[in-house]
Structure 1
Amino acid sequence: MAPRSSAAAPLPVLVFDGDCAFCTTSAGVITRRLRRSPDDYAVQPWQHLDLDALGLTPQECDEAVRWVDANGIPDAGHVAIARALRASRWWVRPLGVVLVAPGVNALAARAYRWVAANRHRLPGGTPACSLPPAA
Protein backbone atom coordinates (compact mmCIF):
# COMPACT_ATOMS: atom_id res chain seq x y z
CA MET A 1 0.00 0.00 0.00
CA ALA A 2 1.24 3.47 -0.85
CA PRO A 3 1.96 5.79 2.07
CA ARG A 4 -0.82 8.15 3.03
CA SER A 5 -0.14 11.82 2.94
CA SER A 6 -2.16 14.60 4.43
CA ALA A 7 -2.81 16.18 1.06
CA ALA A 8 -6.17 17.85 0.83
CA ALA A 9 -7.98 17.06 -2.40
CA PRO A 10 -9.46 19.77 -4.52
CA LEU A 11 -13.22 19.43 -4.69
CA PRO A 12 -15.00 17.85 -6.39
CA VAL A 13 -12.91 14.68 -6.34
CA LEU A 14 -13.38 11.10 -7.53
CA VAL A 15 -11.62 8.88 -4.97
CA PHE A 16 -10.50 5.39 -6.02
CA ASP A 17 -8.43 2.51 -4.63
CA GLY A 18 -4.86 3.15 -5.77
CA ASP A 19 -3.80 -0.35 -4.71
CA CYS A 20 -6.18 -1.90 -7.25
CA ALA A 21 -4.82 -2.16 -10.81
CA PHE A 22 -8.33 -2.34 -12.30
CA CYS A 23 -9.40 0.79 -10.39
CA THR A 24 -6.20 2.63 -11.33
CA THR A 25 -6.66 1.73 -15.00
CA SER A 26 -10.29 2.87 -14.89
CA ALA A 27 -9.29 6.13 -13.18
CA GLY A 28 -6.72 6.69 -15.93
CA VAL A 29 -9.40 6.34 -18.60
CA ILE A 30 -11.56 8.86 -16.77
CA THR A 31 -8.63 11.24 -16.42
CA ARG A 32 -7.43 11.00 -20.03
CA ARG A 33 -10.64 10.47 -21.98
CA LEU A 34 -13.68 11.66 -20.06
CA ARG A 35 -12.74 14.78 -18.12
CA ARG A 36 -12.86 18.00 -20.10
CA SER A 37 -9.95 19.41 -18.11
CA PRO A 38 -8.21 18.86 -14.76
CA ASP A 39 -10.22 21.80 -13.43
CA ASP A 40 -13.50 19.85 -13.76
CA TYR A 41 -12.71 17.52 -10.88
CA ALA A 42 -9.78 15.67 -9.38
CA VAL A 43 -9.25 11.91 -9.70
CA GLN A 44 -7.13 10.70 -6.76
CA PRO A 45 -6.28 7.43 -5.01
CA TRP A 46 -7.55 7.41 -1.44
CA GLN A 47 -4.11 6.38 -0.21
CA HIS A 48 -2.76 9.85 -1.08
CA LEU A 49 -5.56 11.89 0.50
CA ASP A 50 -6.51 13.23 3.89
CA LEU A 51 -9.63 11.09 4.22
CA ASP A 52 -10.68 12.73 7.50
CA ALA A 53 -10.92 16.07 5.69
CA LEU A 54 -13.17 14.44 3.09
CA GLY A 55 -15.33 12.69 5.68
CA LEU A 56 -14.29 9.24 4.41
CA THR A 57 -12.68 6.15 5.91
CA PRO A 58 -10.18 3.74 4.36
CA GLN A 59 -12.76 0.93 4.62
CA GLU A 60 -15.35 2.96 2.70
CA CYS A 61 -12.82 3.80 0.00
CA ASP A 62 -11.69 0.18 -0.25
CA GLU A 63 -15.28 -0.99 -0.74
CA ALA A 64 -16.35 1.46 -3.46
CA VAL A 65 -15.27 4.45 -5.50
CA ARG A 66 -16.28 7.74 -3.83
CA TRP A 67 -17.28 11.15 -5.19
CA VAL A 68 -17.07 14.18 -2.93
CA ASP A 69 -18.76 17.21 -4.45
CA ALA A 70 -17.74 20.86 -4.16
CA ASN A 71 -19.85 21.13 -0.98
CA GLY A 72 -18.11 18.15 0.64
CA ILE A 73 -21.08 15.80 0.20
CA PRO A 74 -19.98 12.21 -0.59
CA ASP A 75 -21.56 9.58 -2.83
CA ALA A 76 -20.44 6.00 -3.44
CA GLY A 77 -20.46 3.26 -6.05
CA HIS A 78 -22.53 3.71 -9.17
CA VAL A 79 -23.82 7.08 -7.91
CA ALA A 80 -20.20 8.31 -7.63
CA ILE A 81 -19.54 7.15 -11.19
CA ALA A 82 -22.72 8.87 -12.37
CA ARG A 83 -21.68 12.13 -10.69
CA ALA A 84 -18.25 11.98 -12.36
CA LEU A 85 -19.82 11.26 -15.75
CA ARG A 86 -22.20 14.20 -15.37
CA ALA A 87 -19.18 16.44 -14.70
CA SER A 88 -17.31 15.12 -17.74
CA ARG A 89 -17.38 15.68 -21.50
CA TRP A 90 -20.75 16.36 -23.10
CA TRP A 91 -21.01 12.98 -24.82
CA VAL A 92 -20.82 10.95 -21.57
CA ARG A 93 -23.07 13.18 -19.45
CA PRO A 94 -26.29 11.41 -20.55
CA LEU A 95 -24.89 8.12 -19.26
CA GLY A 96 -24.42 9.74 -15.85
CA VAL A 97 -28.09 10.71 -15.86
CA VAL A 98 -29.25 7.26 -17.01
CA LEU A 99 -27.27 5.41 -14.31
CA VAL A 100 -29.40 6.94 -11.55
CA ALA A 101 -32.70 7.11 -13.44
CA PRO A 102 -35.70 5.24 -12.02
CA GLY A 103 -35.72 1.68 -13.30
CA VAL A 104 -31.99 1.74 -14.07
CA ASN A 105 -30.70 2.81 -10.64
CA ALA A 106 -31.20 -0.59 -8.95
CA LEU A 107 -29.69 -2.45 -11.90
CA ALA A 108 -26.69 -0.08 -11.99
CA ALA A 109 -26.18 -0.56 -8.24
CA ARG A 110 -26.23 -4.34 -8.65
CA ALA A 111 -23.82 -4.17 -11.61
CA TYR A 112 -21.45 -1.92 -9.64
CA ARG A 113 -21.44 -4.30 -6.66
CA TRP A 114 -20.63 -7.21 -9.01
CA VAL A 115 -17.74 -5.30 -10.62
CA ALA A 116 -16.39 -4.25 -7.20
CA ALA A 117 -16.57 -7.80 -5.89
CA ASN A 118 -14.90 -9.22 -9.02
CA ARG A 119 -12.44 -6.46 -9.89
CA HIS A 120 -9.49 -8.81 -9.34
CA ARG A 121 -10.81 -11.00 -12.20
CA LEU A 122 -11.41 -8.18 -14.67
CA PRO A 123 -8.89 -6.99 -17.30
CA GLY A 124 -6.07 -5.20 -15.54
CA GLY A 125 -7.05 -6.68 -12.21
CA THR A 126 -4.59 -8.45 -9.92
CA PRO A 127 -4.94 -10.44 -6.69
CA ALA A 128 -4.25 -7.17 -4.82
CA CYS A 129 -7.56 -5.87 -6.24
CA SER A 130 -9.70 -8.41 -4.39
CA LEU A 131 -11.74 -7.19 -1.49
CA PRO A 132 -11.33 -8.80 1.93
CA PRO A 133 -14.10 -11.24 2.85
CA ALA A 134 -17.09 -9.67 4.56
CA ALA A 135 -16.97 -9.95 8.35
Structure 2
Amino acid sequence: MPIPDEGLLVFDGECGFCTRSLGWLRLLDRGARITSLPLQAPGVPERVGATREACKATLHFAAEGRVLTGAAAVNAALAVALRHPLPERLYARTTALQDRVYTWVARNRGRLPGTSPWCTRHPSVC
Protein backbone atom coordinates (compact mmCIF):
# COMPACT_ATOMS: atom_id res chain seq x y z
CA MET A 1 0.00 0.00 0.00
CA PRO A 2 1.42 3.43 -0.89
CA ILE A 3 2.23 5.86 1.89
CA PRO A 4 -0.50 8.50 2.32
CA ASP A 5 0.46 12.10 1.60
CA GLU A 6 -0.95 13.32 4.91
CA GLY A 7 -2.71 12.22 8.06
CA LEU A 8 -4.47 13.33 11.23
CA LEU A 9 -3.02 12.37 14.60
CA VAL A 10 -5.28 12.68 17.65
CA PHE A 11 -3.31 12.77 20.89
CA ASP A 12 -3.91 13.49 24.58
CA GLY A 13 -3.17 17.18 24.98
CA GLU A 14 -3.21 16.87 28.77
CA CYS A 15 -0.31 14.39 28.74
CA GLY A 16 3.24 15.72 29.04
CA PHE A 17 4.76 12.52 27.62
CA CYS A 18 2.36 12.61 24.67
CA THR A 19 3.22 16.26 24.01
CA ARG A 20 6.95 15.51 24.10
CA SER A 21 6.48 12.53 21.76
CA LEU A 22 4.52 14.74 19.37
CA GLY A 23 7.46 17.17 19.38
CA TRP A 24 9.77 14.37 18.22
CA LEU A 25 7.33 13.43 15.45
CA ARG A 26 7.16 17.04 14.30
CA LEU A 27 10.96 17.14 14.03
CA LEU A 28 10.81 14.15 11.70
CA ASP A 29 7.85 15.54 9.74
CA ARG A 30 9.80 18.07 7.72
CA GLY A 31 7.07 18.24 5.08
CA ALA A 32 4.36 19.04 7.67
CA ARG A 33 2.31 16.07 6.46
CA ILE A 34 0.84 15.27 9.87
CA THR A 35 -1.91 17.41 11.35
CA SER A 36 -1.96 16.85 15.10
CA LEU A 37 -4.92 17.78 17.26
CA PRO A 38 -5.56 17.25 20.96
CA LEU A 39 -8.51 15.02 21.77
CA GLN A 40 -9.71 17.74 24.14
CA ALA A 41 -10.49 20.16 21.29
CA PRO A 42 -14.20 20.22 20.38
CA GLY A 43 -15.18 17.67 17.74
CA VAL A 44 -11.73 16.14 17.33
CA PRO A 45 -12.51 12.54 18.40
CA GLU A 46 -15.43 12.49 15.99
CA ARG A 47 -13.06 13.36 13.12
CA VAL A 48 -11.51 9.91 13.51
CA GLY A 49 -14.82 8.17 14.25
CA ALA A 50 -14.03 7.69 17.93
CA THR A 51 -15.20 8.78 21.36
CA ARG A 52 -13.26 10.98 23.72
CA GLU A 53 -12.73 7.97 26.00
CA ALA A 54 -11.31 5.87 23.14
CA CYS A 55 -8.92 8.67 22.17
CA LYS A 56 -7.89 9.11 25.81
CA ALA A 57 -7.03 5.40 25.99
CA THR A 58 -4.97 5.19 22.81
CA LEU A 59 -3.49 7.28 20.04
CA HIS A 60 -5.53 7.53 16.82
CA PHE A 61 -4.16 8.20 13.34
CA ALA A 62 -6.37 8.69 10.28
CA ALA A 63 -5.18 8.75 6.68
CA GLU A 64 -7.02 8.09 3.42
CA GLY A 65 -10.11 6.68 5.11
CA ARG A 66 -8.17 4.33 7.39
CA VAL A 67 -8.01 4.82 11.17
CA LEU A 68 -5.32 3.08 13.18
CA THR A 69 -4.77 3.04 16.93
CA GLY A 70 -1.94 2.36 19.34
CA ALA A 71 1.38 1.10 18.01
CA ALA A 72 -0.07 0.74 14.51
CA ALA A 73 -0.95 4.45 14.62
CA VAL A 74 2.55 5.39 15.74
CA ASN A 75 4.13 3.44 12.89
CA ALA A 76 1.72 4.76 10.27
CA ALA A 77 2.35 8.34 11.41
CA LEU A 78 6.11 7.77 11.28
CA ALA A 79 5.81 6.33 7.76
CA VAL A 80 3.90 9.41 6.58
CA ALA A 81 6.28 11.81 8.32
CA LEU A 82 9.38 10.10 6.93
CA ARG A 83 7.81 9.31 3.55
CA HIS A 84 9.19 5.79 3.91
CA PRO A 85 7.48 2.41 4.53
CA LEU A 86 10.13 1.13 6.98
CA PRO A 87 8.15 1.87 10.18
CA GLU A 88 5.11 -0.07 8.95
CA ARG A 89 7.26 -2.92 7.64
CA LEU A 90 8.98 -3.18 11.00
CA TYR A 91 5.62 -3.10 12.77
CA ALA A 92 4.33 -5.93 10.55
CA ARG A 93 7.22 -8.09 11.77
CA THR A 94 7.09 -7.07 15.43
CA THR A 95 3.38 -6.39 15.99
CA ALA A 96 2.94 -8.39 19.21
CA LEU A 97 6.02 -6.88 20.85
CA GLN A 98 5.22 -3.31 19.79
CA ASP A 99 1.61 -3.66 20.92
CA ARG A 100 2.74 -4.86 24.37
CA VAL A 101 5.24 -2.00 24.68
CA TYR A 102 2.64 0.54 23.53
CA THR A 103 0.11 -0.78 26.06
CA TRP A 104 2.66 -0.48 28.86
CA VAL A 105 3.65 3.05 27.82
CA ALA A 106 -0.01 4.13 27.52
CA ARG A 107 -0.78 2.85 31.02
CA ASN A 108 2.30 4.52 32.51
CA ARG A 109 2.54 7.70 30.45
CA GLY A 110 1.82 9.89 33.47
CA ARG A 111 5.01 8.58 35.09
CA LEU A 112 7.20 8.98 32.00
CA PRO A 113 9.26 12.11 31.30
CA GLY A 114 7.38 14.75 29.43
CA THR A 115 7.05 18.44 28.92
CA SER A 116 4.38 21.01 29.62
CA PRO A 117 1.18 19.47 28.22
CA TRP A 118 -0.11 20.93 24.97
CA CYS A 119 -3.41 21.99 26.55
CA THR A 120 -1.58 23.85 29.31
CA ARG A 121 0.22 25.90 26.65
CA HIS A 122 -2.86 26.31 24.42
CA PRO A 123 -5.87 26.39 26.78
CA SER A 124 -8.10 28.25 24.34
CA VAL A 125 -8.01 25.27 21.97
CA CYS A 126 -8.69 22.65 24.62
- When normalised by structure 1's length, the TM-score is 0.73
2:75 aligned with 1:85? no
Aligned identity (percent) is: 32
Please give the alpha-carbon distance, in whole angstroms, between the structure 1 residues aligned to 2:60 and 2:47. Answer: 14
Please give the alpha-carbon distance, in whole angstroms, between the structure 2 residues aligned to 1:95 and 1:22. Answer: 21
RMSD of aligned Cα (Å): 2.0
2:83 aligned with 1:67? no
2:38 aligned with 1:45? yes
Equivalenced residues, count: 110
Please give the alpha-carbon distance, in whole angstroms, between the structure 1 residues aligned to 2:42 and 2:85. Answer: 27
2:19 aligned with 1:29? no
Please give the alpha-carbon distance, in whole angstroms, between the structure 2 residues aligned to 1:54 and 1:99. Answer: 22
1:90-105 equivalences under 5 Å are 93-101=85-93, 104-105=94-95
Matched with 2:104 is 114
Segments of 4+ in structure 1 off by > 6 A?
none
Cα pair distance change 1:41/1:59, threshold 3 Å: same
SS in 2 for 1:55: coil
Q: Which amino acid aligns with 2:25?
A: I
C-alpha displacement at 1:49, in angstroms? 4.8
Greater helix fraction, Structure 1 or Structure 2: 2
Relative CO higher for 1 or 2, CA cutoff 8 Å, sep ≥ 6?
2
- When normalised by structure 2's length, the TM-score is 0.77
In structure 1, stretches of 5+ residues that fail to align are 1-10, 127-135
